[in-house]
């Protein structure tokens, strides 16, 4: 309607002035309700054509959409393991900081496993003390065996020396017996040394390895014990939290609630513009938005990102071929809008539905001298008609409460 009124000022109105003052025709006489089309046909036809052209130029170069939402992320409150709830630390809609406990599962099994691992560590420490005593005992046995060997060897040497000096003094049988004793004592020394090495291996290799295994088991048990206490990963507000002591929760099937992080949905708006405007939407474009949750307020925005893929065309591998006819509705160009000024989205609850306009600007292109003549005039006109679209957005902001509260039946 606004475009029609503007176009009539340069088409129908001049045509009427010519008919009235140039041809002397007057309303109610020559120009009546039945003859107005014939008398003002040139102005009316030009007005309709100019209106259609103006609407096309405005909506193409300064696109608008009602598919705008303040999306926000939610974090499901889930334990890393299933179990029965033993304690609940928060209530409904409570605010939590990062690291605050939310609820705790029954952890009797995990505590028992951790205590068992601690007992094994203590048992290993005691065994290491015993192993050091065994090493000392093995040292004594080695020394005892070596002395016994030395005694037998000395006696053998003495007998052999006597036999060498006088063959009849010591019998050959006695020499053989002493040699067997020496050989046996040498075996005893080797056995004692092997026992000492075994005691050292047990104290220095086996028991430390057993202690390390017990410590790993303790760490594993403590990790499992820590998983029974669910903490907030980020600061935010808990919603839909109806968990009570005795409830059973499962990380795959039954979440305890959702956590809405602080600031979620208050940083930007996500808008879906028509595909025909894909060549117009650029990063850096100025935009404006009006949200249902904050009517009568126009929020200055700026385009910070334009998604280079249309969600309607995404394909997931399945056991059936995808038919292009199944994509009945064309997708939209996803555009991310950030507030032009800090705190621009204050007072807009996350998840709010909005309407938005984006405005093309050709000032830099014209100032660079890249275009001139009629093209420059056209681009000036394109930038100028953005005022019409901005005015329409403000009219929508004014009418929106009336449309919803009065005509919407609310």
Q: Are 74 and 260 in contact (CB under 8 A)?
A: yes
Q: How far is CA 177 from the centre of its chain?
A: 86
Going through 141-264 in order, the beta strands assigned E by DSSP cover 229-231, 236-239, 248-249, 257-261
Question: What's the rounded mean pLDDT across residues 343-357?
Answer: 88
Q: How far apart are CA 408 and CA 57, in angstroms?
A: 31
Q: Output the pLDDT for position 356.
A: 92
Rounded to whole angstroms, the Cα distance separating 15 from 40 reads 6
- Could you read off the pLDDT of 264-278 as tens digits, one per residue? 778 889 999 988 888
Query: Does 26 or 352 have the greater pLDDT score?
Result: 352
Confidence of residue 171 (pLDDT cuts 50, 70, 90): low
The whole-angstrom separation of Cα 3 and Cα 303 is: 26
Q: Which of 359, 304, 288 is nearest to 336 (CA)?
A: 304
- pLDDT of 288 higher than 70: yes
CA distances in angstroms from 261 to 230, 235, 270, 296, 393, listed in the order given? 16, 6, 18, 28, 32
Q: Which two tokens mark 169? A: 């003094």
- State how far the Cα of 111 lies from the Cα of 44, in Å rounded to an integer: 88
Is the pLDDT assigned to residue 410 strictly greater than 60?
A: no
Separation of alpha carbons 64 and 277, rounded Å: 10
Residues in the chain: 410
Contact 269, 337 (CB under 8 A): yes
**Comparing 120-124, 365-369, 390-394, which segment has the lowest mean pLDDT?**
365-369
Q: Please give the C-alpha separations between residue 82 and each of 106, 182, 243, 247, 301, in angstroms, as whole numbers.
A: 10, 70, 14, 11, 45
Q: Residue 306 phi/psi, 5° resolution?
A: -125, 120
Q: How far apart are CA 86 and CA 107, in angstroms?
A: 8
For residues 105 and 243, the answer to whether their CB atoms sit within 8 Å is no
- Report the number of secondary-structure helices (H) and strands (E) in the chain: 10, 14
What average pLDDT does range 183-202 have in this prediction?
Answer: 76
Instruction: Indicate the DSSP class of residue 27.
Output: B
Q: Flag whether pLDDT at 28 surpasses 70.
A: no
H or E element at residue 298: strand 294-306
pLDDT in tens, 303-337: 999 988 888 777 777 777 777 777 767 888 899 99
Average pLDDT of every residue of the chain = 81
**pLDDT at residue 83 in the model:** 83
Q: Which of 397, 30, 70, 68 is nearest to 260 (CA)?
A: 70
pTM of the model: 0.69
CA 285 to centroid of chain Cα atoms: 28
What's phi and psi for 42, nearest 5 deg?
A: -70, -45
Helix or strand run (H / E) with residue 339: strand 333-339
Please report which confidence band the pLDDT of residue 169 belongs to, taking 50, 70 and 90 as the band edges: low
80 pLDDT higher than 90: no
Structural Rg of the chain based on CA atoms? 47
Say what the pLDDT of residue 165 is: 67
Burial (CB count <10 Å: 0-12, 13-18, 19+), residue 160: middle
Mean pLDDT for the stretch of residues 138-156: 73
Cβ burial 260-274 (10 Å sphere, 16+ → b, else e) = bbeebbbebbbbbbb
Tens of pLDDT, residues 98-112:
888 988 888 888 888
2 has a pLDDT exceeding 70: no
pLDDT at residue 43 in the model: 75
């Amino acid at each position: 309607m606004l475009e029609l009124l503007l176009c009539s000022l340069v088409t129908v109105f001049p045509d009427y002035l010519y008919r009235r003052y140039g041809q002397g025709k007057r309303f109610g006489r020559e120009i009546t309700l039945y003859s107005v089309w014939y008398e003002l046909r040139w102005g009316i036809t030009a007005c309709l054509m100019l209106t259609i052209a103006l609407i096309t130029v405005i909506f193409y170069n300064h696109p608008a959409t009602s598919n705008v939402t303040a999306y926000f992320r939610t974090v499901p409150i889930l334990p890393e393991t299933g179990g029965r709830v033993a304690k609940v630390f928060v209530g409904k809609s409570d605010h939590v900081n990062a690291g605050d406990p939310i609820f705790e599962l029954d952890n009797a099994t995990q505590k028992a496993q951790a205590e068992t691992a601690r007992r094994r560590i203590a048992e290993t420490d005691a065994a290491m003390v015993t192993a050091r005593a065994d090493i000392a005992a093995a040292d004594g046995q080695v020394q005892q065996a070596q002395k016994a060997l030395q005694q037998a060897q000395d006696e053998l040497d003495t007998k052999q020396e006597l036999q060498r000096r006088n063959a009849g003094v010591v019998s050959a049988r006695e020499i053989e017996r002493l040699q067997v004793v020496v050989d046996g004592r040498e075996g005893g020394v080797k056995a004692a040394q092997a026992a000492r090495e075994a005691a050292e291996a047990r104290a220095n290799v086996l028991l430390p390895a057993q202690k390390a295994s017990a410590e790993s088991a303790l760490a594993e048990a403590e990790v499992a014990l820590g998983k029974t206490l669910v903490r907030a990963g980020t600061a935010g507000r808990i919603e839909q939290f109806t968990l009570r002591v005795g409830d059973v929760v499962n990380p795959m099937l039954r979440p305890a609630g959702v956590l809405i992080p602080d600031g979620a949905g208050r940083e930007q708006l996500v808008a879906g513009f028509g595909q025909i405007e894909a060549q117009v939407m650029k990063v850096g474009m100025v935009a404006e938005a009006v949200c249902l949750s904050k009517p009568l307020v126009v929020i200055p925005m700026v385009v910070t990102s334009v998604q280079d893929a249309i969600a309607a065309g995404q394909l997931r591998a399945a056991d059936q071929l995808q038919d292009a006819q199944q994509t009945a509705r064309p997708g939209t160009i996803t555009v991310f809008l950030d507030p032009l000024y800090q705190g621009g989205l204050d007072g807009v609850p996350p998840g709010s539905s909005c309407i938005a306009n984006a405005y093309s600007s050709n000032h830099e292109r014209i100032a660079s001298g890249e275009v001139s003549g009629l093209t420059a005039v056209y681009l000036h006109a394109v930038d100028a008609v953005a005022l019409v679209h901005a005015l329409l957005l403000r009219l929508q902001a004014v009418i929106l409460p009336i449309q919803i509260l009065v005509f919407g039946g609310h």
